[in-house]
Amino acid sequence: MATRGIARGLAVALWEKAGNRGMAESEDARLIARCRAGDRAAQEALVRRHQDQVYRLACRLVGDPEEASDVAQEALIAMLRSLGAFRGEARFETWLFRVTTNICLMQRRRRQARTRLITDLAVTCCEHPPAGNADPESAAASRELQGAVRECLRRLPAEFRAVVVLRELEGLSYEEIAQVLKLPLGTVQSRLSRGRRLLREALLADERVALRYGRGEKA
């Protein structure tokens, strides 16, 4: 009898869970239809329904609450912009988790690309290694070096800055950059090579880089 009671309790719990899920999916479908019709109130309601779970997923994927907040906001914006691509082949929640996960992966690639860029430019372009026991990772994390890279990037001519940013900071392939900028592949490669060289030269002339590396004069 006890076993039957447990089985019956599990069956009821599963039935209630399925019912709640069905109600949630119906509410999502209703809101999505209104969103596609341009209903701003429905968009806000859809965001409120899913913002907590998107943030929780982002936290688990990126491991940093502040970064997860940025990712969640980007994911929710992408959700609203991409509702036309949702065909109902999977549950809306599953589709939204896929969107969030993809943005987390892109964020990770961007962070890795920024680390590579700062490390490469701040370490290999200098004639001497950093003073003291600083390793390339600590140099990459330096605020001074990050500021130098940002400012030197801003001073690059626009055509070179675009390809450097898209390649080194956003992680796009040469082919993707060519599509974005509507340029021949060879032009992208030549501008990237020239842009990297200009950026290295600018960094070598930056006092913060010279101080970081214990050099008494600019290159």
Could you tell me if residue 14 is inside a domain? yes
Mean pLDDT of 31-54: 92
Question: Which CATH number goes with the domain that contains 62?
Answer: 1.10.1740
Could you tell me if residue 120 is inside a domain? yes
pLDDT at 141 exceeding the cut of 90: no
Question: Which CATH number goes with the domain that contains 194?
Answer: 1.10.10.10
Could you tell me if residue 147 is inside a domain? yes
Considering the domain architecture, whether residues 116 and 198 belong to the same structural domain is answered as yes
29, 122, 128, 163, 171 from 148: Cα distances, Å: 49, 9, 18, 18, 20
Considering the domain architecture, whether residues 75 and 126 belong to the same structural domain is answered as no
Could you tell me if residue 115 is inside a domain? yes
Considering the domain architecture, whether residues 114 and 205 belong to the same structural domain is answered as yes
Q: pLDDT for 65-101, tens place per residue?
A: 888 898 999 999 999 998 888 887 778 888 998 898 8
Say what the alpha-carbon torsion angle 163, 168, 171, 177 is, to the nearest 10 degrees.
10
Q: What is the mean pLDDT of the chain?
A: 75
Considering the domain architecture, whether residues 160 and 71 belong to the same structural domain is answered as no
- Residue 155 sits in which domain range? 109-212
Comparing 104 with 9, the larger pLDDT belongs to 104
Sign of the dihedral through C-alpha 212, 213, 214, 216: negative
pLDDT at 55: 93
Considering the domain architecture, whether residues 113 and 208 belong to the same structural domain is answered as yes
Do residues 145 and 122 make contact, with C-beta atoms less than 8 angstroms apart? yes
Burial class, 139, CB count within 10 angstroms (exposed 0-12 / middle 13-18 / buried 19+): buried
Cβ-based neighbours of 204, under 8 Å, separated by 6 or more: 125, 126, 210, 218, 219
Task: Give one DSSP letter per residue of 154-204, joined into a string.
Answer: HHS-HHHHHHHIIIIIT---HHHHHHHHT--HHHHHHHHHHHHHHHHHHHH
Could you tell me if residue 23 is inside a domain? yes
Considering the domain architecture, whether residues 74 and 122 belong to the same structural domain is answered as no
Q: pLDDT for 45-68, tens place per residue?
A: 999 999 998 998 888 888 788 888
Cα distance between residue 219 and residue 201, in whole Å:
8
Considering the domain architecture, whether residues 204 and 117 belong to the same structural domain is answered as yes
Considering the domain architecture, whether residues 79 and 121 belong to the same structural domain is answered as no
Cβ-based neighbours of 169, under 8 Å, separated by 6 or more: 110, 113, 114, 117
Considering the domain architecture, whether residues 69 and 116 belong to the same structural domain is answered as no
Could you tell me if residue 198 is inside a domain? yes
Could you tell me if residue 90 is inside a domain? no
Give me the number of domains the chain comprises.
2
Helical residues (DSSP H) of the chain, grouped into ranges:
2-36, 40-62, 65-81, 92-119, 136-141, 143-155, 158-164, 174-181, 185-204, 207-212
